[in-house]
Amino acid sequence: MTRTVPDLPTPALVVDLAAFDRNVATMAARWPGTTLRPHVKAFKSTALARRLAANGHTGFCCATVREMEGMAAAGLGDDLLLANEVLGPAAERLGALARSGTARVTTGVDSVETVEAAAGAGVMEVLIDVNVGLPRCGCDPADAGRLADLARSKGMTVRGVMAYEGHLMREPEDGKGTKVQAAGEVLQAAVEATGGDLVSGGGTGTWTTNTWATELQAGSYCLMDTEYVPHASEFENALYLWCTLISATEAWGVLDGGLKCLGMDHGDPTVVDVGSCWFVSDEHITFGWADGRRLPLGTGVRVLPGHVDPTVASHERMYVLDGEDVVDDWPVDLRGW
């Protein structure tokens, strides 16, 4: 028997398959095949990743060792990059994966300590992570050559560099391209000093303005959230939370989704069509009714998250819709660390 949206237990995380496919096609037209390295952290699902691989995007970017292990176990380990630094037990786990032969494993390094940890654990391919303006991971561009030489002295292959201009993802479109180009110019000396073929970087917010990466690390584009759409307007919201109206007055309504199922760091969710969010509690969204709108209790309501990554990570599965029909579910099987 075919299930439809009203049959889903709420709160349910839902993917509009047609919108998802349009997003995937839009990105692939500019970044085809392995010029796109989808970032698994945005969706944490091997079922979703398998659809991207079928579209030719067979190299993936991960944020955690758990994601790396899960992708390899799912047979999606052709070329996995941990776009992060690891030390201690995390490095040992990553080394075990590399030695298993189930995946091609590359990791980012930005210091003597992370080079030594990767080499000691048996991770033999690295990218030198270079800081181009975001105060997070990444070495000074002037240190990239020295770290590359150190890695090679330990028998490692330096595949190239990676850099994330994350501080520019949400820049206004007017002027963004100039700033992204400037970040690339900061990176250029490191590229020359490091060697290797890969320049891995960028993201959904710079998918049209990054001209220096050989591969784009984008993940949000396929599902999107309300905070990101203004900065990458060619993509559409393909992910939403399906909630039930469980209480109401003449002034407000209450839905059965809350902080435990929504990423809130990028702002309040959007209550679609019926009103505007007032506040979010552990298990509730309270919203004010739009003029002339009232719904009976038990009605389903769409809610768009402000930040897709932590929203997805709060759920066990995403239900996939073709129109109103539930045609699949994608387990969120890469949660945790």
Report the pLDDT value the prediction gives residue 154, as an integer from 0 to 100.
Answer: 98
CA trace torsion 187, 191, 193, 194 (10° rounding)? 120
Do the domain assignments include residue 26?
Answer: no
Do the domain assignments include residue 132?
Answer: yes
Q: Of 217, 247, 264, at which residue does a domain stop? A: 217
Q: Which two tokens stand for residue 155?
A: 């028998």
Does one domain contain both 44 and 180? yes
The region that residue 273 occupies, defined by phi over 0 for left and psi between -120 and 50 for alpha, beta otherwise, is left
Please give the tally of structural domains in the chain: 2
Q: Which two tokens stand for residue 84?
A: 């992060």
Do the domain assignments include residue 226?
Answer: no
- Per-residue model confidence as pLDDT tens digits over 215-237: 999 999 999 999 999 999 999 99
Do the domain assignments include residue 203?
Answer: yes
Q: Cα separations (Å) of 18 from 24, 53, 184, 252, 304?
A: 10, 18, 35, 32, 17
Q: Which two tokens stand for residue 247?
A: 């209480």
Does one domain contain both 62 and 126? yes
Q: Of 191, 217, 243, at which residue does a domain stop? A: 217
Does one domain contain both 65 and 171? yes
CB atoms within 10 A of CB 271: 24
Please report, for the domain that includes residue 320, its CATH number: 2.40.37.20
Residue 135, preceding peptide bond in cis (omega within 30° of 0): no
Give residue 170's identity as a one-letter amino acid code.
R
CA trace torsion 194, 61, 240, 221 (10° rounding)? 40
Report the pLDDT value the prediction gives residue 1, as an integer from 0 to 100.
Answer: 73
Does one domain contain both 262 and 186? no
Give residue 83's identity as a one-letter amino acid code.
A
pLDDT band at 331 (very low <50, low <70, confident <90, very high): very high
- Per-residue model confidence as pLDDT tens digits over 94-145: 999 999 999 999 999 999 999 999 999 999 999 999 999 999 999 999 999 9
CA trace torsion 21, 23, 25, 27 (10° rounding)? -150
Sign of CA dihedral 227, 231, 236, 239: negative
CB atoms within 10 A of CB 179: 17
For 302, the domain range is 3-12+235-331
* pLDDT of 276 higher than 80: yes
pTM listed for this prediction: 0.96
Q: Which two tokens stand for residue 246?
A: 């469980």
Closest C-alpha among 321, 315, 282, 314 to residue 300: 321
Does one domain contain both 199 and 248? no
Does one domain contain both 301 and 258? yes
Closest C-alpha among 198, 235, 232 to residue 213: 198
DSSP, res 263: B
Q: How far apart are CA 319 and CA 47, in angstroms?
A: 12
Q: Give Dmax over CA atoms of the chain in angstroms.
A: 71
Does one domain contain both 247 and 200? no
pLDDT band at 249 (very low <50, low <70, confident <90, very high): very high
